[in-house]
Amino acid sequence: MSWWCLDKTGTRPDKRKVIVHIGTSADGYIARADGDLEWLTSRPAPKGFYGMNAFMKSIDTKVLGRKTYEASLRMGAKFDSQSRSIVFSRHPRPADAPSGVQFVNGAIGPFVTRLREQPGKDIWLMGGGEIIASFLDAQAIDEFVITVAPVFIGEGIPLIARRHRHVPLDLQATERFEDGVVQLHYRVLRAPGGYC
């Protein structure tokens, strides 16, 4: 039996949520195959940055796949001690990794259960598509906030690594921005009727 019980809609009351907050093309990619993000990052950033500034105040922990971690470093991200950063990788921690970054290799379910037991704000699962797929398969994601840029890029890295799955979603909200960006906020549904 799990330490938590779900209500009828799959919500775990009073627990930190694991939330994917991510930008995609209109055809469902998070990056070109070579990692290029120019189609996304070259867009002028509107005030509030599509709710990202407010979202950042609601989280205190970031979880990344190793490839997203490396892409973030290349883009100049600073992994300081203001929030906890956890990188999933099946390889040893690189010697030059910033001291505040924790490298994890293990079963996702028990890891997230331990994380949720610790007090704190929500947890941002930053991506990319492989780690999102691993978390989804471990039923370790509560919500998705998908910011869809009005562009097709044709091929690339999908939002969720491809394999057969059926994950029902509950649409919580949609927001349309003046520049044609649409934001979809979904809650991941679990077994109907709730379970423990």
Closest CA to 161 of 195, 136, 124: 136
The nearest distance, CB 163 to ligand NAP, in angstroms, is 13
Query: What is the Cα gyration radius of the chain?
Result: 17
* Interaction between residue 156 and ligand NAP (CB under 6 A): no
The nearest distance, CB 5 to ligand NAP, in angstroms, is 26
Binder of ligand NAP out of 63, 115, 125, 127 (CB under 6 A): 127
The nearest distance, CB 17 to ligand NAP, in angstroms, is 18
- The residue count of the chain comes to 196
* Interaction between residue 131 and ligand NAP (CB under 6 A): yes
For residue 88, with 0-12 CB atoms within 10 Å meaning exposed, 13-18 middle and 19 or more buried, which class applies? buried
- Give the binding range for ligand NAP (CB under 6 A) out of 7-15, 93-101, 129-137, 163-171: 129-137
* Interaction between residue 91 and ligand NAP (CB under 6 A): yes
| DSSP structural state of residue 195 | -
Return the residues of window 30-89 that contact ligand NAP according to CB under 6 A: 30-31, 35, 37, 40, 65-68, 71, 88-89
Angstrom distance (rounded) from CA 120 to CA 142:
16
* Interaction between residue 129 and ligand NAP (CB under 6 A): yes
List Cβ neighbours of 157 (8 Å cut-off, separation of 6 or more): 29, 30, 31, 32, 33, 35, 128, 129
* Interaction between residue 10 and ligand NAP (CB under 6 A): no
Cβ atoms within 10 Å, residue 63: 29
Please identify, using beta-carbon distances, which residue of 12 and 39 lies nearer to ligand NAP: 39
What the block records as the tokens of 50 is: 């599509």
Residue ranges that bind ligand NAP, judged by CB under 6 A: 22-23, 30-31, 35, 37, 40, 65-68, 71, 88-91, 105, 108, 126-131, 134, 157
